Structure 1
Amino acid sequence: MSVDNALWRAIGMFRVAAFVYSVALAIYGYHTYRGVVLAAAVLAVMGAWTALTIWAYRSPALRTWRLVAADFAVTALCLLATGVVVPTAARHAGAPTLTAAWVAAPVIACAVKGGRRWAIAAALALGAIDVALRGVAVQDALSGTVMLLLAGLGVGYLSALAHGAERRMQQAVELDAATRERERLARGIHDGVLQVLGLVQRRGAELGDEGMELSRLAGEQEAALRSLVGLDTAPTTTGGLVDLRHLLRPMDGTRVHLVTPAAAVVLPARVATEIAAAVDSALHNVRAHAGTDATAWVLVEDERDCVTVTVRDDGRGMAPERIAEAAATGRLGIAQSISGRIRDLGGEVTIVTAPARGVEVEMRVPRPRDRRSHSRLPRGR
């Protein structure tokens, strides 16, 4: 049973218990009522509505804000009927309303459906009706409003906590399934593709210059493939978190050396993907312009408020003004594929280069804030 289903079933159980309590209070104090028939009719409506909401809230398709609003309206009307049934003097003296604890049901429903803010709004609205019925802010009315607020806050907090635990459990299940699939694929790749690449790397040198190049490429692809099938990859969802190291490890090879922290570099999926794409563009520039013998180093630094990725090579380098000239002539590799991506993430790119001294591209991206807590997302542990 999902967390949602369990919470809505709990609301149904609360309704039944609260309705029985309301009936018991009405039987105990009916002799003071001005309209016993009306009181019985209100209790009948409460009983019918209890049965209807228990049935409706069992179906996820029916758990809409329209139903929650109707729940609030019916409860408010039943509460207002107290003003006709219970004499004014009794209300001022603190006599219980017809709904009693049953009035808390829509507050709890708002807490489960929309969180604490909606629960607080519903509690204050129903509390205001209770105070208005009594005409004065007696202790019983104020205490009832406080209890409604506490119920909404408590259930709203527990609902958010339970949904978070359910999401983490789902992620753990998906991770386990992904790990099993990766292991299955890794066995097949190891028995076939990796062995062929290893053979090409070993025998390529015997075929002359073209064979040497083929051997080098086979070695790079073998290293990249081994890194790929060895990752502890985790499934991601929209707005989910991923480890940046997982996206960068496939780029490691014989001429690309990757240095990352020991702990996970946790970032939102979109941010991590854009950073990885910028790094890939920087490495593409190394392969295209730095020279056939150039080696690149990728350094990842996970700082408190930002993540810094530096791509440095020992190639032929270039004059600093060539970056602006390339952008002006329509070659936008650095301007868009690197700087544009990082700038869209709120970061900055610093490029240091000179002829015969290689190129160093430093990309600094601020760690995104958690919208719920307004704090920076935590670093990996």
Structure 2
Amino acid sequence: MPDARSGLQAPLWRAIAVYRIAALTYAAVLVVRNVGDYAHPVLAWPVLAAMAAWTVFTTYAYADPARRHAPLLVADQLVAIAALTASIGIVGRGALEAGAPTLAVAWHVAPVISWAVAGGRRAGIAAALTMGATDLIVRAHFDQAATTGTVLMLLAAIAVGYLVRVAEVAQERLERAIELEAATRERERLARDIHDSVLQVLALVKRRGAGLDGEAGELARLAGEQEAALRSLVAGRQASDPGGDDLDLMALLHPYASPDVTVSGPAGAVTLPARTARELGAAVAAALDNVAKHCAPGTKVYLFVEDQPDEVVVTVRDDGCGIAPDRLAQAAAQGRLGVAQSIRGRIADLGGGVQIVSAPDEGTEVEMTVPRAPIS
């Protein structure tokens, strides 16, 4: 059994031990009070002594998580059943039918609770039904007074089993939250180190080489791409739903923020199906890459995200050199399919659309709209 679960259950096992002692005390009081009316009163004391010894044994046995398994649980159940059935010969069948209490009284409920804690509701219900049937057989009458104890025992097993399950789920969530917090702190530490070293070097290479031609310009472009990818890796603002099928679009876009790129959108998460979010993020990256390649260094870019009920609209707007009216058609004819495939193609596959508004020396605006529900 996992250590975390054992630690969570420890207070419950202590409570069961306290219940056993209290129930044993109550049973002893009733035996002292009614022993004169028993059919075989002398035999009541050995049974009571055995119950006391078992109470002491189980108090220490259940304290060890390694022993909270089937052998001890079954033995616990059998001892309680034996104490119940011994009432037939000691108390007497006639007295039991008349409503006299059994020797175990409420002591026999402890194994039922133990089963519920160790195995959950189903195990507790099975133990309660077994113990309840034994109690009814010993009492030999099935009126409302006799069945009430069995019903209460069954309800206790259900309640305790449910409580244990809720506590375990809460413990698991707490552990995941602690792990996430630790991972976040480590990621933030690494992000600081990377920002102070690698990212600054990549940004410097991108900035210094942006206006150069040939291999130097290509190196600057690659440095810019790696900078954006590395920022995405260390930003740590990814958010997914419990099933892992949705992603936060803002988490994918925020790493592109820089002195030249302003990212604006809702304060909260903009969740989309994972494929939609990734493809839309890739289309935005292609649009930003076009700005880096075709506009002067320092060109300001504004990235807007609109979260609407049925769709999400992402707009990439720059104040750069703009695009000539026939430039996109010429690029497609020449086999340069950056806009056609990386932007229009991706968004079309998602069931959305792209609008590009541009004019020479007036900047460019690329508006990408995708539906919230993925297309089949």
TM-score, normalized by length of structure 1? 0.67
In structure 2, distance between residues paired with 1:287 and 1:187: 24
SS at match of 1:159: helix
Q: 1:37: Cα distance to partner?
A: 3.4
- The runs of 5 or more residues in structure 1 that have no matched partner are 267-271, 321-349, 354-359, 367-381
Q: Which residue in the other structure is 1:315 paired with?
A: 340
Is the Cα–Cα contact under 8 Å of residues 246 and 271 in structure 2 kept in the other structure? yes
Query: In 2 relative to 1, CA 166–94 (structure 1 residues): closer, same or farther, beyond 3 Å?
Result: same
Q: Which residue in the other structure is 1:262 paired with?
A: 268
In structure 2, distance between residues paired with 1:40 and 1:250: 75
SS at match of 1:245: strand
Q: Given the alignment of the two structures, is residue 33 of structure 1 paired with residue 58 of structure 2, yes or no?
A: no
SS at match of 1:192: helix
Counterpart pick for 1:56 among 61, 64, 74: 61
In structure 1, distance between residues paired with 2:308 and 2:38: 70
Counterpart pick for 1:136 among 124, 135, 141: 141
Q: Which residue in the other structure is 1:188 paired with?
A: 193
Q: Which residue in the other structure is 1:79 paired with?
A: 84
Is the Cα–Cα contact under 8 Å of residues 248 and 269 in structure 2 kept in the other structure? no
Structure number with greater Rg is: 2
Query: In 2 relative to 1, CA 302–83 (structure 1 residues): closer, same or farther, beyond 3 Å?
Result: farther
Q: Given the alignment of the two structures, is residue 110 of structure 1 paired with residue 122 of structure 2, yes or no?
A: no
Query: In 2 relative to 1, CA 175–211 (structure 1 residues): closer, same or farther, beyond 3 Å?
Result: same
Q: Which residue in the other structure is 2:169 paired with?
A: 164
Q: 1:106: Cα distance to partner?
A: 1.3
Of 150-159 and 103-112, more deviation after overlay is shown by 150-159
- The runs of 5 or more residues in structure 2 that have no matched partner are 1-5, 257-262, 293-302, 313-337, 353-368
TM-score, normalized by length of structure 2? 0.68
Q: Deviations over 1:162-194 (max 9, x none)?
A: 223322332332233222222211211111111
Residue type matched to 2:73 in 1?
A: V
Q: 1:95: Cα distance to partner?
A: 1.0
Residue type matched to 1:33 in 2?
A: Y
Of 29-38 and 101-110, more deviation after overlay is shown by 29-38
Is the Cα–Cα contact under 8 Å of residues 22 and 99 in structure 1 kept in the other structure? yes
In structure 1, distance between residues paired with 2:127 and 2:306: 49
Q: Given the alignment of the two structures, is residue 245 of structure 1 paired with residue 270 of structure 2, yes or no?
A: no
SS at match of 2:142: coil
- The alignment of Structure 1 onto Structure 2 pairs a total of residues equal to 320
Q: Which residue in the other structure is 1:122 paired with?
A: 127
Q: 1:137: Cα distance to partner?
A: 0.6
Query: In 2 relative to 1, CA 265–56 (structure 1 residues): closer, same or farther, beyond 3 Å?
Result: farther
Q: 1:2: Cα distance to partner?
A: 2.7
SS at match of 2:102: coil
